Amino acid sequence: MQNNPFSFYFTNRGGTGVFLWLTLGIMALTSSPSALSAQETSAPVTRREEVVDVLHGVSISDPYRWLEDQTSPATRAWVTTQNAHTKSLLSSWKGRAKLEKRLSELLKIDVINTPTERKGYYYYSKRLANQDQPVLYRRKGDKGAEEPLLDPNIMSADKTVSVQVMDISQDGEMLAYGIQRGGEDEVEVHFMATASQKPLKDVLPRARYSGVAFTADNKSVYFGHQEAEGPRVRHHVFGADPKEASLIFGEKYTPSQGVGVDISEDGHYLLFTFYFGSAASKTDVYIKDLTVEGSEIIPIVNDIVAKFSPHIIGETLYLETNWNAPNGRVLKVDLNDPDKSKWKEIISENPTSVLQSLSFVGGRIFVNYLENVASHIRIYKPDGAPDGEIKFSTLGTASGVSGSWKRKEAFYTYASFALPRTIYRFDIGKRTETEWAKLNIPIDPSQFEVKQVFYPSKDGTKIPMFLIYKKGLLLDGNHPTLLYGYGGFNLSMTPSFSANIAMWAENGGVYAIANLRGGGEYGEAWHRAGMLEKKQNVFDDFIAAGEWLIANRYTNSKRLAIMGGSNGGLLVGAALTQRPDLFRAVICAVPLLDMVRFHKFLIARFWVPEYGSAENPEQFKYIHAYSPYHNVKKGTEYPATMFVTGDADTRVAPLHARKMAALLQWANGSDKPILLHYDTKAGHSGGKPINKVIEDAADEQGFLYWQLGMEPK
């Protein structure tokens, strides 16, 4: 399911992916970048082919279409040549070894994640400082001996295999986990009896799964996954052939929809939700009574254009929704009489706070709100009566509260830019909290200033932005500054801690995160103001952030870099083509860039509700107007740019970065390098061994230090 508390790796809530690239190295300021001649930085020549499509009466040139074929010998040879060119330039920068050493000190630390309780056992993942991948453990009670259950470090020689926990049965006797190779979204689902720690023979084949849930008797699982025809819900009985899992529901849904599957905590109801697009502009909710053999599937809602997130407690269904409430509200449905006319609102929309998530723990409803891009957790009784809150003393981000409906303990994490991620155990009865675990990073966060500013966008809309820098910063207009943004899929960029960002600030740099329209920072209205025909608002917001940083003397255009990944890769791609004069350097990671053809590849039809499709004549007009690949102009002086992608990205096709790198290299009128950093094993969904994370961070961030005039301490 989305926001799976057992997942070893962060994955987004359904968009193209959020890459908050916080692996920034340590630097000190110098007067100028290492000098390399134009001949040394010139890119390899890429063959151009005359390919022209006529779409809605407009001729569309696509000279690098041949690079769309990822497996062709010509493409493979081209990737090899590009990587050799990139490596030769990055290795010429003398600070890389020191940067990699310091990154190792910062990132090779013990990391533990939020626990989940089952029948007195705590299950959690932990990666020791000397390990590449996190290991799944359990222990009896809070003080019991640690018992390793799954160690992906022994599953592959190169440590690129990782594990995602999909579900743990309510009695703790069964474990479902996905084996992920490289950074693919697809996993192969395995099962384990926790007492014997022996895997079952049953294996669900490699696919994109969105919910694997054990039945109450542990004899079978229901699961949702994407098939060629669209999302489907299936049922597998242990001992049967997994390839013949029976189809339960989903025949009317297409590849542009997704599905989530869950079973209520008491095992009574099967619950599945179909999402119309990755930002869930519309959702359909169905239930099935698992205690009655042959029971019908009952639609709860399938005729309202709004988002619904369902939660079942006993015979009550709670619906988190933005239906007639852009900031979110909570409805209560009696499953014995679920007619829409009987629904009851129990938590009303808050005009100043955006509902982020609901948690049902210890007989209470925990509502995680976002107010001016900072977390607030309020507590309610089952009937919606207010019952207190969890207070935070700093501007930061709290995860959703996790735990069981019947137990009086809950867990949540909290972090801010100057506060490392800490896991808390919350006693619901006593309303007290204790620290369960935290990251121990060898830096002093008290030296940093965290500031939230609001700046005007092109149309006058006030946009919030976080700034992180060392206390006492002199505004002389010359600080190296890294601006990050995302702006899409209703996702919010909230305060989070990174030792590497902290070190950037500690050594005189400024890190900025702009909360652009298209995100979820101010609810569905904010999201809709940056999607479809209003997508240009997002780019205007980002460009205005750069202009504000310069106008307010934080930096200048020679010391301003931008970074974004996935949908954020589209963002920086649009920014560098629309305002190449504003930025000195760009990191464009796992990006969407050919927006005229994006919907034709991998799972991209799932994003059409967010962007539109060039197949639609009206949508084509605005898509073609901003599509980065179609707005590169020969002879323009572009900033230094590094495109980052990999073969195992099965979410955003790597062809976008390949084609754009070739086109920008051909068109560039400046002597700034245009590079491709291409990993033949990495993908979109994490899973990299820590040594590879450090190596890639040294390459990518070293590129920025080189261009902004920095050297490692």
pLDDT digits (tens, 9 = 90+) for 221-274: 999 999 999 999 999 999 999 999 999 999 999 988 999 999 999 999 999 999
Average pLDDT across the chain, whole number: 91
Say if residues 218 and 173 touch (Cβ distance below 8 Å).
yes
- Minimum mean pLDDT range among 34-43, 444-453, 549-558, 692-701: 34-43
pLDDT tens across 452-480, in order?
999 999 999 999 999 999 999 999 999 99
Question: What single-letter DSSP state applies at residue 295?
Answer: P
Give the ranges where 125-192 is alpha helix by DSSP (H).
none
| Active site (annotated) includes residue 566 | yes
- Could you write out the DSSP letters of every residue in 335-402? TTS--GGG-EEEEPPPSS-EEEEEEEETTEEEEEEEETTEEEEEEE-TTS-EEEEE--SSS-EEPPPB
- Buried b or exposed e, range 24-44, using 16+ CB within 10 angstroms: bbbbebeeebeeeeeeebebe
CA distances from 652 to 531, 566, 567, 602, 707 (A): 18, 7, 9, 7, 27
Per-residue HEC secondary structure of 34-93 comes to: CCCCHHHHCCCCCCCCCCEEEECCEEEECCCHHHHCCCCHHHHHHHHHHHHHHHHHHHHC
Closest CA to 123 of 156, 159, 162, 169: 169
Diameter of the chain by CA atoms?
Answer: 75
116-156 confidence digits (pLDDT tens)? 999 999 999 999 999 999 999 999 998 899 999 999 999 99
Are 269 and 287 contacting, i.e. CB atoms less than 8 angstroms apart? Answer: yes
Comparing CA positions, the residue from 576, 574, 538, 540 lying closest to residue 557 is 576
Its sign, for the CA torsion 192, 198, 200, 204, is: positive
Q: Tell me: the pLDDT tens digits for 168-187?
A: 999 999 999 999 988 788 99
Of 281, 656, 684, 685, the catalytic one is: 684
Q: How far is CA 571 from the centre of its chain?
A: 15
> Residue holding tokens 């169905």?
286
Residue 27 has pLDDT above 90, yes or no: no
pLDDT tier at 35 (50, 70, 90 boundaries)? very low
CATH number of 28-105+443-711: 3.40.50.1820
pLDDT tops 80 at residue 108: yes
pLDDT tens digits, one per residue of 644-674: 999 988 899 999 999 999 999 999 999 999 9
**C-alpha dihedral sign at 627, 632, 633, 634:** negative
The model's pLDDT over 337-396, given as tens digits with 9 standing for 90+, comes to 999 999 999 999 999 999 999 999 999 999 999 999 999 999 999 999 999 999 998 889
Chain centroid, CA 27 distance in Å:
27
Q: At 121, which helix (H) or strand (E)?
A: strand 121-127
Amino acid 16: pLDDT:
55
In this prediction, residue 683 carries a pLDDT of: 62
Q: Is the pLDDT of residue 320 over 60?
A: yes
**In this structure, are residues 502 and 445 in contact, taking their beta carbons and an 8 Å threshold?**
yes
Q: How confident is the model at residue 531 (pLDDT cuts 50, 70, 90)?
A: very high
pTM: 0.92
Q: What is the pLDDT of residue 26?
A: 26
Per the listing, tokens 């003398």 go with 94
In this prediction, residues 528-546 reach a mean pLDDT of 98
Which of these is catalytic: 309, 566, 613, 685? 566
pLDDT at 581: 98
